[in-house]
């Protein structure tokens, strides 16, 4: 069973960078699939942030692209999210997830981590 | 961006009821649609993909239909564990987008 686990600070100050890591267990990122980030503001819906392949090929949501970098570290079997210049609007539960086969659905998800942007 | 509009935003139903949720895309997406179930404090779980294909392990009381712009998720006989929020997601083009969600509540 593939497992994903998000980690990172739960509190980030406005204008700073939100950095999260997703560690993958029971599956080697190098074996394939795209890996991505999705977020959910409290009480609201889901927003796709972006996805990355083990080769480094990536896709981003244009609404966030100027502030987002997703990277992959195959040696540690993890991928990461950096979101720069955050504001209160970036407060959300951040999920990491795996793309399902060669489609753009998501079949395995992390439990999610709440990141609050506040001074 | 393709906008996904779900209706209703919430529905009250009893155990054993048949529940239908609709999702409309702002432009045609063929059958590139998924449905997810999300319970409070948990990650979404993939129920249906390609509009009508049941994900492995998902009970057969869940079914999906539709193509183009109009899609439906049906729960044939609501069970206690089905009370949750349901989201549709289009996988036709970037950016990937989700519907606003439908909360299925106990009547």
Q: A35 with A52: CB under 8 angstroms? A: yes
Distance to chain A for B53, nearest Cα, Å: 12
Is the minimum CB–CB distance between B55 and chain A shorter than 8 Å?
yes
Q: What is the spatial distance between Cα A12 and Cα A2, in angstroms, rounded to a whole number?
A: 29
State the pLDDT at residue A88: 98
Cβ of B94 and A105 within 8 Å? no
Q: How many CA atoms lie within 13 A of A114 on its CB side?
A: 7
The DSSP secondary structure of B6-18, one letter per residue, reads EE-SEEEE-TT--
Q: How many CA atoms lie within 13 A of A73 on its CB side?
A: 11
* CB contacts, 8 Å: B42 with chain A: 111-112
Sequence-separated (6 or more) residues with CB below 8 Å from residue B21? B6, B7, B8, B11, B72, B73, B74, B86, B102, B104
- What are the tokens at A54? 């083990």
Q: pLDDT digits over A65-83, tens only?
A: 999 999 999 999 999 999 9
Q: What is the spatial distance between Cα A20 and Cα A87, in angstroms, rounded to a whole number?
A: 16
| Residue A64 pLDDT level (bands cut at 50, 70, 90) | very high
Per-residue pLDDT of chain B (107 residues; tens, 9 = 90+): 999 999 999 999 999 999 999 999 999 999 999 999 999 999 999 999 999 999 999 999 999 999 999 999 999 999 999 999 999 999 999 999 999 999 999 88
* CB contacts, 8 Å: A104 with chain B: 32, 91, 96
């Amino acid at each position: 069973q593939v497992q994903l686990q998000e980690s990172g600070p739960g509190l980030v100050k406005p204008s700073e960078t939100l950095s999260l890591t997703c560690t993958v267990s029971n599956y080697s990122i190098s074996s394939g699939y795209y890996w991505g980030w999705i977020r959910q503001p409290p009480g609201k819906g889901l927003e796709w942030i972006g996805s990355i392949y083990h080769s480094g090929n990536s896709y981003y949501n244009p609404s966030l692209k100027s502030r987002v970098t997703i990277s992959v570290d195959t040696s540690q079997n993890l991928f990461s999210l950096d979101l720069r210049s955050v504001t209160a609007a970036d407060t959300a539960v951040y999920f990491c997830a795996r793309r399902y086969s060669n489609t753009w659905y998501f079949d395995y998800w992390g439990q999610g981590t709440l990141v609050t942007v506040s001074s | 961006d393709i906008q996904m509009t779900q209706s209703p935003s919430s529905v009250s139903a009893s155990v054993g009821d048949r529940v239908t949720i609709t999702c409309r895309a702002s432009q045609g997406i063929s059958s590139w649609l998924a449905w997810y179930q999300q319970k409070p404090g948990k990650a979404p779980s993939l129920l249906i993909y390609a509009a009508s294909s049941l994900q492995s392990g998902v009970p057969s009381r869940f079914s999906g239909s539709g193509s183009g712009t109009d899609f439906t998720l049906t729960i044939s006989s609501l069970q206690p564990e089905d009370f949750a929020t349901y989201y549709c997601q289009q996988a036709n083009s970037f950016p990937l987008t989700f519907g606003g969600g439908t909360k299925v509540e106990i009547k």
